[in-house]
């Protein structure tokens, strides 16, 4: 056999035997790691992870006909694109947790030396070095790294829950605006009917000669203004419906009307009862996990201060004489100057920062609750006062003025003044109802749950 071929064959045998030996030894290390919770990079032992792959949002079937709040909430939780983005982040951090738990890869190297010209012409004097090395992490780095990744995943869940409640609040408020716009449209239609009746009455009085033609002209101007108000209100309703449809990812609303009763007004609960529930707010509840995550980062940085050790094993083969030797060793950095003290201190400062941020979040949430609660009480008083006293008086005054105008007891300006008063009061009443329910939704956002079980509210049953 050609000596060079024989040498190359010998080299391949050594490489193969060395690699097989290392793989056998590493398989034992891997088995021990699996017993300690290690997962395969592809997670072959856990097929469930493949079933959790993110999927694209399914098209939402746009509702038609009448819409109820529970249906709108369910549609938004299914189709809201921003909420879907937070869901993808949860899956991404699940994958990051898998990555954090992996062992370092071994290193394989081959080096040829002592080849050149003259005495070492070609490869006659080759020495082949085959080496394998494995980094072994000390100080609990992998466990600390995995703990940080796990807490990051929990924080992503809290972010999702925060966004979920934000979406529920957004849907509820948009739904309330649709109900209010429907009531405003109904009121605008009533005002247009009244304006038409006033035109007919004025025209009859002009024909009878009891009033000047100027009053008929004024009545027609008011009718035209009422027609413009009706058209503007229709456009506002269309915009409100489109904003509601956008919460479940559609740009066009196909539903005909929203069902709900803004008249359902209940006395607000005692403020102290709401304060006791404020801990359910995910903006505050998440801080326990946030503090744990910052502490885990400190532990991770402390583990980085402990140097890792790298074990080496290899063979040197001299092809000219078929001699070889084996070598083994280890190496590790000496923590003389860098003991990761700066990163540890920075992590401790960030823990202190998180404590301050938690206190700030508690103060801001409590302040917001007090402010919104006062607004809710104000809206409640306004609604009840308008309902029991003001509206009835304005309606009675307008009826008296209209009847008196037909009988010639009042002039047109008096009727117009009574009509404007009635319109203003009813418009104020609709706005007060709207403010009440919007503030209910804001308080539900702050306490993380429902305020009045039977009112227009966020549904805790929608998951």
DSSP 6-49: HHHHHHHHHHHHHHHHHHHHHHHHHHHHHHTT---TT-TT-THH
Lowest-confidence pick of 103-117, 180-194, 343-357, 442-456: 442-456
Tens digit of pLDDT for each residue in 121-135?
555 557 888 999 999
Lowest-confidence pick of 107-111, 208-212, 228-232, 385-389: 208-212
Q: Which residue has the higher pLDDT, 325 or 32?
A: 325
Strands in 52-209 per DSSP E = 65-67, 107-113, 127-136
- pLDDT-based confidence at 112, cuts 50/70/90? confident
The pair phi, psi for residue 442, each rounded to 5°, is -65, -40
Q: Is the pLDDT score of 57 beyond 70?
A: no
- pLDDT-based confidence at 92, cuts 50/70/90? very high
Spatial distance between the Cα atoms of 388 and 403, rounded to a whole number of angstroms: 24
Q: Is the pLDDT score of 462 beyond 50?
A: no
Handedness of CA 387, 393, 396, 401 (dihedral sign): negative
Mean pLDDT of 56-60: 56
- Using an 8 Å Cβ cutoff, are 365 and 343 in contact? no
pLDDT score for 409:
81
b/e map 17-52, b = 16+ CB within 10 Å: ebeeebeeeeeeeeeeeeeeebbeeeeeeeeebeee
pLDDT score for 268:
93
pLDDT score for 160:
95
User: CA–CA distance from 19 to each of 29, 126, 131 (Å)?
Assistant: 15, 20, 9
Listed by start position, the domains of the chain span: 1-61+103-136+308-339
Spatial distance between the Cα atoms of 28 and 34, rounded to a whole number of angstroms: 10
Q: What is the pTM of this model?
A: 0.78
Handedness of CA 308, 313, 319, 323 (dihedral sign): positive
SS3 129: strand
Q: What is the DSSP secondary structure assignment for residue 387, as one 8-state letter?
A: I
Q: What is the DSSP secondary structure assignment for residue 410, as one 8-state letter?
A: S
């Amino acid at each position: 056999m050609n000596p060079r071929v024989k040498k190359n064959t010998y080299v391949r045998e050594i490489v193969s035997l060395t690699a097989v030996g290392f793989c056998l030894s590493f398989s034992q290390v891997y088995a021990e790691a699996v017993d300690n919770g290690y997962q395969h990079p592809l997670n072959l032992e856990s097929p469930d992870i493949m079933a959790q792959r993110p999927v694209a949002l399914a098209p939402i079937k746009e509702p038609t006909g009448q819409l109820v709040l529970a249906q709108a909430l369910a549609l938004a939780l299914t189709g809201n694109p921003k909420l879907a983005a937070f869901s993808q982040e949860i899956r991404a951090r699940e994958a990051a947790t898998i990555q954090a738990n992996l062992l370092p890869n071994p290193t394989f190297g081959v080096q040829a030396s002592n080849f050149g010209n003259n005495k070492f012409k070609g490869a006659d004097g080759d020495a082949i070095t085959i080496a394998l090395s494995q980094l072994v992490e000390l100080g609990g780095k992998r466990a600390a790294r995995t703990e940080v990744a796990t807490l990051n995943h929990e924080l992503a869940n809290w972010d999702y829950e925060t966004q979920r409640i934000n979406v529920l609040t957004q849907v509820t408020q948009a739904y309330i605006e649709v109900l209010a716009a429907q009531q405003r449209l109904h009121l605008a239609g009533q005002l247009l009917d009244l304006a038409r009746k006033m035109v007919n009455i004025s025209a009859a009085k002009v024909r009878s000669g009891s009033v000047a033609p100027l009053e008929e002209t004024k009545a027609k101007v008011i009718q035209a203004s009422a027609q413009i108000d009706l058209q503007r209100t229709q456009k506002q309703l269309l915009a409100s419906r489109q904003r509601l449809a956008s919460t479940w990812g559609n740009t066009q609303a196909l539903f005909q009307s929203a069902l709900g009763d803004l008249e359902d007004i209940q006395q607000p609960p005692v403020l102290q009862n709401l304060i006791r529930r404020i801990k359910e707010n995910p903006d505050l509840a998440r801080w326990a996990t946030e503090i744990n995550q910052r502490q885990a980062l400190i532990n991770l940085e402390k583990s980085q201060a402990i140097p890792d050790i790298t074990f080496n094993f290899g063979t040197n083969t001299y092809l000219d004489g078929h001699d070889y030797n084996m070598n083994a060793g280890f190496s590790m950095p000496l923590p003389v100057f860098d003991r990761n003290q700066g990163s540890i201190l920075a992590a401790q400062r960030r823990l202190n920062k998180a404590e301050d941020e938690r206190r700030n979040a508690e103060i801001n949430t409590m302040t917001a609750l007090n402010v919104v609660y006062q607004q809710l009480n104000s809206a409640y008083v306004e609604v009840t006062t308008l309902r029991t006293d003001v509206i009835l008086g304005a309606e009675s005054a307008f009826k008296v003025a209209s009847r008196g105008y037909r009988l010639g007891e009042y002039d047109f300006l008096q009727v117009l003044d009574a009509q404007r008063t009635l319109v203003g009061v009813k418009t104020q009443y609709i706005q007060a109802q709207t403010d009440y329910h919007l503030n209910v939704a804001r308080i539900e956002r702050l306490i993380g749950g429902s305020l009045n079980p039977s009112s227009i509210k966020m549904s805790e049953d929608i998951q």
